[in-house]
Amino acid sequence: SQKIEQNSEALNIQEGKTATLTCNYTNYSPAYLQWYRQDPGRGPVFLLLIRENEKEKRKERLKVTFDTTLKQSLFHITASQPADSATYLCALDTGTASKLTFGTGTRLQVTL
């Protein structure tokens, strides 16, 4: 069956450290992969998009990698801050136009 898996347990890290979140998928061959941030009581907010022929994408303190062989994307936040605490969702285009399928999300908690 087709799956998009993210760490279901919350990730707790100390301020200033690098947070690394994982998105694994099976039985998909996405051309694009996106990452979103969701705060409690709010809708997801788009962060980054990476294409299958791109290995890495950066935006300020954020970095995304995309390994189509491992079927995995890693999302890094460097110099993390308490304000980075949120749930992070990965999403794939799953072969059908207009359909973006989301992973289960990982909650990140950055403490002082």
With binding defined as CB under 8 A, does residue 28 bind another protein? no
Phi/psi zone of residue 47: left (φ > 0), alpha (ψ -120 to 50 degrees), beta? alpha
Q: Are 102 and 38 in contact (CB under 8 A)?
A: no
Q: Which of residues 38-97 bind another protein (CB under 8 A)?
A: 41-46, 49, 51, 87, 89, 91-93, 96-97
Residue closer to another protein, measured from CB, 15 or 52: 52
Determine the Cα angle at 60 with ends 42 and 58, to 5°. Answer: 95
Asked whether position 98 contacts another protein by CB under 8 A, the answer is yes
**Count of residues near another protein by CB under 8 A:** 27
